[in-house]
Amino acid sequence: MSNTPESNTPNLQYPIGNYTPQDSHTLEQVHALGVQIAEQPAKLRLAVAGLSEAQQDTPYREGGWTVRQVVHHMFDSHANGFIRLKLALTEDKPTIKPYLEAEFAKLPDSSLPIEVSLSLLDGLHLRWSYLISQLKTEDLERGYMHPEYQKFYSLGQFVGLYAWHGAHHTAHILELRKREGWL
């Protein structure tokens, strides 16, 4: 399914579409993506504002994570992303350590109040977006190897992926609110 004019049925798994990496990015594009990353915590806070505990424990789609799990996942993922950026800036094409995000989402800390991860995201994104804003053109050649995909990700692709990732999960919550009438 897609969100095309021919189909009024939203794609519940990829409400903003799949991430499609660009082969290269300009420094200006990367800095603009960094601004999107800086804005993500505020957008996520708006998306979850006023949700009851029961609503936070509602999956965004059948077989999907709950809103609470999505919020905690965003911190888990973005904390890993921040460290990946620092590794790419300090090492020569480091191989990053993947993690089992679905297993992380089952750990007991995923049942904590969402404010815990919302607060952590505020500080994390402040540091992350600041670091992105300081990138120079020569930094764009840096990146990391992802052993699961046997692929090198440039910093431009990496920043694009995480800008998409935040918007992707925020859209999960917003689409759920719309479908359920929780506006």
Give residue-wise pLDDT tens across range 88-106: 999 999 999 999 999 999 9
SS3 call for 42: helix
107: left (phi over 0), alpha (psi -120 to 50) or beta: beta
Query: Which whole-number Å values give the CA distances from 14 to 4, 45, 169, in the listed order?
Result: 13, 20, 9
Q: Confidence band (pLDDT; 50, 70, 90) for 183?
A: confident
**CATH number for the domain including 115?**
1.20.120.450
Q: Is the dihedral of CA 32, 38, 40, 46 positive or negative?
A: negative
Tokens standing for residue 166: 């935040």
Residue 7 pLDDT more than 60? Answer: no
- Does 84 fall in a domain? yes
Q: What is the mean pLDDT of residues 8-32?
A: 90
- Does 3 fall in a domain? no
d(C-alpha 70, C-alpha 14), whole Å: 14
d(C-alpha 7, C-alpha 15), whole Å: 13
Tokens standing for residue 52: 């009851």
- Does 161 fall in a domain? yes
* Structure confidence at residue 73 (pLDDT): 98
- Does 135 fall in a domain? yes
- Does 90 fall in a domain? yes
Q: How many residues does the chain have?
A: 183
Tokens standing for residue 150: 């046997």
* Structure confidence at residue 171 (pLDDT): 97
Amino acid at residue number 71: V
- Does 119 fall in a domain? yes
Phi, psi for residue 146 in degrees, rounded to 5 = -105, 110
Can you give the residue range of the structural domain that contains 164?
A: 27-180
- Does 4 fall in a domain? no
Tokens standing for residue 110: 């995923």
Domain count, the chain: 1
- Does 11 fall in a domain? no
